[in-house]
Structure 1
């Protein structure tokens, strides 16, 4: 989810917040809330879903391209302030409905029958990863900063994030999920979150070329060698430390490692929500066994809904985003106080409220997101 606080004058309706157009053979989706770093809300998810429904059945549209308005990034995540208020003051129904449609959209993007080109320029976090990194052609630039920073706000990587990170080489995904660290283009390619590197200056011509050139030709014309992956040089301690079975043991290994970066990482983990850390580690380990994206999204939906009634999500958003005092009071406050039963509660079946994507893994072609 990640996200940003979205106060101020922004386009309100879905038609203004998501701009749609066709040029040549391309259907364009432009996230248009630049002052809010193009944060996603429910109406935007529905509008994107309906556009994909129309374009999947339109032979004139051969490619879908998603970009973000403004200079700062594609999308900073979901509209976290709305989720915070719903968890604090409401019954969580609105957030659960948003996630239901968002996760269906994530699965739909992954199964899109036409090339889905995601321009991951600038900030791409949380829900922004969900509408981009499941695409078939994922472009990063020298400005890209990709992250799933949920543990810092008392939440757990969602939008298929645990699926993607579980597939990363070695324990790189575990490192990114637990720390919430943002990575650049080279590391995004290394971790399997992106496919091609383009200089940001080449993006306008690249996107324009897609109107009358096949995607592989346009990519080949503009792609360049990526910058080095910084995490590649840290694989030894990352794999050794994060292969542990518990968060406590991971931190112990990080503190004992010779590399100063490992010790700095331990301090980051100790500042994140203890509950979120343990649930995230369990989510990643289970995602590796589950297999399909749809099964993992079903699991993430259970975890996300459970987080609405846990104290750390509201407290984390308050401390990191609303009050910005950076001093969250986690409950429980320590890893030792988070029991196995506490963690297991997040994975409890929802009965009739299950997301149900894995019941019909080919069933992402309909308009799952309803109406505005």
Structure 2
């Protein structure tokens, strides 16, 4: 492979370099699990737009530096600071920039290969799971954990969850549980599970794929470097589909409470600990996304929901309990699904903020 062209300084939060026909972007905030800031989002967008117009670049690779994470999502401490100091518009502006980047990735005009490893949550899913070629290592920890912190799946997560088999989407949205990279293909969050060896040396392997389209690249990588994907989740599909196909979030809870399956009982315990308003928002947004099948609409819906939820006390309280004080004992308002303003959440999901 040719020597790379001059890169952005290694102290930059995003490192971009060109290696022959390959543009390589690295998230470079490993000490913070590559959590996204507005500076990172702005630089990612700038580089991707420039490379889209550069005829010398035939494919793009997006990775995260450090062994622990591809990207743990948005910088939660920044979110907490914004919503507790009245800077809600700053939070909304960051989300808008992030969602536009996710949509750019989804419609990228060249093969853009994402490689998810380690922790890949929330905003990390937005970068990794909308790319034209989505690679993942078997042991990656992926998910949309927002219901644990008083928020709702965003970055197009409701669209991805809506397209998971059966009602896995409602289950993962409401429970905020994670899944492995080996499960990601079954759930529709990745195209190919790759070996750890290939992931560690991916840049040295890609030049031979230059000139192929995204589908051809994914197929070739799967044949040459694929690792086994998991189908273990299929064992849980029966009870998940029964409970989470219910017509309302409250009925989901009722069905779980009537089931004797140990996994269903564990799910009931998970939901009991999560934010009721967040779970209801997630439920309605996944259902609406499934009906529309349009990423742009899902992103718009998620932004409406975010603008609503960021003004409620649950988001600040959830971040406090899970990330700042770490007492894992949030006081949700309201504390019961029965007391949630379901009409407001259904209105947001349907496209009205009134």
Asked if TM exceeds 0.5, the reply is: yes
CA gap of 1:14–1:238, structure 2 versus 1, over 3 A, is: farther
Work out whether 1:159 is the aligned partner of 2:155.
yes
Give unmatched runs, 5+ long, in structure 2. 1-8, 211-216
Query: Could you say which residue in structure 1 is the equivalent of 2:84?
Result: 88
Alpha-carbon shift at residue 218 of structure 1 (Å)? 5.5
Q: TM-score, normalised by structure 1?
A: 0.87
Question: Which structure carries more relative contact order (alpha carbon 8 Å, separation 6+)?
Answer: 1
CA deviations over 1:269-303 (Å, ceiling 9, x no partner): 01000010111111111111222111111111111
TM-score of the two chains, using structure 2 as the length reference: 0.91
Q: Partners in 1 of 2:280 and 2:175 — Cα distance?
A: 12
Q: Superposed, which structure 2 residues align to 1:166-177 within 5 Å?
A: 166-177=162-173
Instruction: Report the equivalent of 1:34.
Output: 30
Contact 2:113 2:133 in 1 (8 A): yes
Aligned pair count? Answer: 339
In 2, the alpha carbon distance for the partners of 1:276 and 1:216 equals: 35
Tell me which residue corresponds to 2:184. Answer: 188
**Which residue of 267, 284, 287 maps to 1:285?**
287
- 1:3-152 matches, cutoff 5 A: 16-152=12-148
Matched, 1:258 2:254: no
User: Contact (CA 8 Å) 2:138, 2:227: kept in 1 or not?
Assistant: no
CA contact (8 A) 1:165 1:284 kept: yes
Partner of 1:178: 174
Which residue is equivalent to 2:319? Answer: 317
- CA separation of 1:208/1:218 partners in 2, compared to 1, >3 Å: closer, same or farther? farther
Alignment partners' CA distance in 2, 1:35 and 1:218: 34
Q: Which residue pairs with 2:244 in the alignment?
A: 242
1:306 aligned counterpart, secondary structure: helix
Distance 1:201 1:14, change over 3 A: closer
In the alignment, does 2:204 pair up with 1:213?
A: no
Secondary structure of the corresponding residue to residue 178 of structure 2: coil
Q: Distance in 2 between matches of 1:306 and 1:243?
A: 26
Q: Deviations over 1:203-262 (max 9, x none)?
A: 133331213433357614642242423211100001111000111211121122231011
RMSD: 1.8
Return structure 1 stretches of 4+ with deviation > 2 angstroms. Answer: 204-207, 211-218, 220-225, 227-230, 339-351
In structure 2, do the counterparts of structure 1 residues 170 and 162 end up closer, same or farther at CA, with 3 Å as the change threshold?
A: same
Asked if structure 2 preserves the Cα contact closer than 8 Å seen for 1:202 and 1:222, the reply is: no
Shift of 1:142: 2.2
Name the residue aligned to 1:200: 196
Q: Secondary structure at the residue paired with 1:331?
A: coil
1:184–1:133 distance in 2 versus 1, CA, 3 Å = same
Post-superposition Cα deviations, 1:303-338, rounded to whole Å, max 9, x if no partner, equal 111111011101000000000000000001111111
How far apart are the structure 1 equivalents of 2:67 and 2:93? Answer: 30
**Uncovered stretches (5+) of structure 1, i.e. residues with no partner:** 1-12, 352-372
Distance 2:162 2:230 in 1: 22
Alignment of 1:220-235 (within 5 A): 220=222, 222-235=224-237
CA–CA distance in 1 between the matches of 2:220 and 2:299? Answer: 32
| Structure-2 separation of matches of 1:217 and 1:298 | 32
